[in-house]
């Protein structure tokens, strides 16, 4: 499996995916980083790992032909969104059906949708009085945070939590969860029928 990671920020989830491929816990190769901003910290991480970078100049729609060519040139078979602050257009979703994943820092369908990203999610969780939060890896469709859920993991919300302290604890969970979800695809263990996800048992020799 050949992964392109799309990111807008520092790239810690990008790094967790790259690390998992190096440790062979993820049977895949990260072959491309797509950054939405030239100042994104993920670019430095990608260069240190020797992974090519494509920087969007404007929206995905403005660059769709060039982006599709770049993805094709690198023979990308899976796209992983990792803190990517751009909506994925329908054209790209149709080119990679059920092969675009995103990680969200809460337990979807709660605390998702338009405007719910980054610290806003954790602020909403803390303000709600919820006792639990977590991380969700889901397939991307044409609506925000509404695609079929692949994996989730819970994180307790402590009485003393701020948005910042909760975010730090959820991020640790994200780093472990995302490579696990990608590995399910690498092993062809995901079955999707009518937007419902089931898992195929792994074949052991």
Q: Which CATH number covers residue 66?
A: 3.40.50.170
Note whether residue 163 is domain-resident.
Answer: no
Per-residue pLDDT in tens (0 to 9) along the chain, 205 residues: 999 999 999 999 999 999 999 999 999 999 999 999 999 999 999 999 999 999 998 889 989 999 999 999 999 999 999 999 899 999 999 999 999 999 999 999 999 999 999 999 999 999 999 999 999 999 999 888 899 999 999 999 999 999 999 999 999 999 999 999 999 999 999 988 888 898 898 765 4
Note whether residue 84 is domain-resident.
Answer: yes
Q: How many domains does the chain have?
A: 1
Note whether residue 131 is domain-resident.
Answer: no
Note whether residue 47 is domain-resident.
Answer: yes
What is the distance between the alpha carbons of residues 71 and 44, in angstroms, rounded to a whole number?
A: 20
Task: Give residue 18's pLDDT.
Answer: 98
Residue 104 falls in the annotated catalytic set: yes
User: 3-state SS of the chain: helix, strand, coil percent to 5?
Assistant: 35, 25, 40
What is the distance between the alpha carbons of residues 199 and 192, in angstroms, rounded to a whole number?
A: 9
pTM of the model: 0.94
Tokens of 2: 């050949």
Rg of the chain in Å (alpha carbons): 16
Q: Measure Cα distances from 10 to 13, 38, 45 in Å.
A: 9, 12, 8
**Owning domain of residue 63:** 2-108+136-152+177-191
Note whether residue 165 is domain-resident.
Answer: no
Note whether residue 117 is domain-resident.
Answer: no
Note whether residue 90 is domain-resident.
Answer: yes
Catalytic residue among 104, 122, 138, 175: 104
Beta-bridge partner residues of 104:
136
Note whether residue 81 is domain-resident.
Answer: yes
């Amino acid at each position: 499996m050949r992964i392109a990671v799309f990111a807008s920020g520092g790239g810690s989830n990008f790094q967790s995916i790259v690390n998992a491929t190096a440790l062979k816990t993820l049977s895949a190769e990260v072959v491309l980083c797509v950054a939405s901003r030239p100042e994104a910290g993920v670019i430095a991480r990608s260069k240190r790992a020797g992974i090519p970078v494509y920087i969007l100049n404007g929206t995905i729609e403005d660059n769709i032909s060039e982006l599709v060519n770049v993805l094709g040139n690198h023979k990308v078979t899976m796209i992983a969104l990792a803190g990517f602050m751009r909506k994925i257009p329908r054209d790209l979703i149709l080119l990679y059906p059920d092969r675009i994943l995103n990680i969200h820092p809460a337990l979807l369908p709660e605390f998702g949708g338009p405007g719910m990203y980054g610290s806003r999610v954790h602020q909403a969780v803390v303000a709600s009085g919820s006792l639990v939060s977590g991380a969700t890896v889901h397939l991307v469709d044409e609506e925000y945070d509404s695609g079929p859920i692949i994996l989730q993991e819970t994180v307790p919300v402590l009485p003393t939590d701020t948005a910042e302290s909760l975010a730090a604890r959820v991020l640790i969970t994200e780093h472990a969860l995302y490579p696990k979800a990608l590995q399910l695809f690498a092993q062809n263990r995901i079955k999707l029928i009518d937007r419902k996800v089931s898992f195929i048992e792994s074949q052991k020799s």
